[in-house]
């Protein structure tokens, strides 16, 4: 994924790279930034702002899927489903895609934590600063700013990102560690581009396997 596409995926505000799955890419014509054309970024920003105002303390009644270690809240599931509906999928497809992506995200998070990948307040602040700098030079800056404009202020948007990074950063750390290990073990097998493509496929399977081992069950 190109840098601009990576920045956009991180700033979607839910699942980072997971939301830009091959399913969406197959269903939409994309530009050179990797973003679906025709996607209403302002509307998505409005949905994210509504999500920002949800209660942060959840009870058992708010759990939608439960696995051996991981849990998916109804709010997260509904949020991701709204993303897919906005991207043009039908009800059944959006339901299936949201279930897959939220289950994989939380399975990744639990795996990251189990391997010791935690996050500090300083790391969150550093990542926010990095993202803000990247937005300034992103080739898809206009679409990102459309999303930010749906928030009452830019500061509110970054506050929301700060909240999300508590889950996203451990997953990023796990991903980076897996990628580094993969490159070390395959460095003599071909060009970096080829290995990168192979790693993407490897990580997709890794996510799927983690979610399968969770044996998620719907609880509501």
CB contact at 8 A, 20 and 49? no
Buried (b) or exposed (e) across 132-158, using 16+ Cβ within 10 A? eebbeebebbebbbbbbebbeeeeebb
> pLDDT tens track of the chain, all 220 residues?
444 444 444 444 444 433 433 333 434 444 444 444 578 889 999 999 998 887 655 555 589 999 999 999 998 899 999 988 988 999 999 999 999 999 999 999 999 999 999 999 999 999 889 888 888 887 778 888 888 999 999 999 999 888 888 888 999 999 999 999 998 888 766 566 678 888 989 999 999 999 999 999 998 6
Residue-level pLDDT at 190: 59
Question: In the chain, where are the structural domains located?
Answer: 3-218
CA distances from 194 to 29, 183, 184, 204 (A): 24, 11, 14, 16
Residue-level pLDDT at 193: 66
């Amino acid at each position: 994924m190109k840098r601009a596409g990576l920045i956009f995926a991180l700033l979607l505000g839910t699942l980072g790279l997971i939301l830009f799955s091959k399913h969406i890419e197959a269903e939409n014509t994309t530009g050179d930034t990797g973003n679906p054309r025709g996607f209403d970024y302002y509307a998505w920003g409005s949905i994210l702002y509504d999500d920002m105002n949800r209660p942060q303390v959840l009870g058992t009644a708010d759990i939608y899927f439960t696995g051996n270690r991981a849990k998916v809240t109804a709010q997260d599931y509904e949020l991701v489903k709204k993303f897919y509906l906005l991207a043009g999928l039908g009800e059944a497809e959006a339901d299936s895609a949201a279930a897959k992506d939220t289950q994989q995200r939380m399975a990744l998070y639990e795996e990251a934590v189990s391997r010791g990948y935690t996050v500090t307040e300083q790391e969150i602040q550093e990542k926010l600063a990095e993202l803000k700098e990247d937005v300034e030079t992103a080739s898809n800056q206009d679409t990102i700013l459309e999303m930010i404009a749906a928030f009452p202020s830019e500061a509110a948007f970054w506050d929301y990102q700060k909240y999300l990074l508590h889950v996203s950063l451990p997953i990023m750390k796990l991903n980076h560690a897996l990628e580094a290990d993969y490159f070390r073990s395959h460095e003599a097998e071909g060009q970096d581009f080829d290995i990168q493509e192979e790693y993407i496929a490897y990580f997709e399977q890794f996510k799927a396997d983690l979610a399968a081992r969770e044996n998620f069950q719907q609880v509501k």
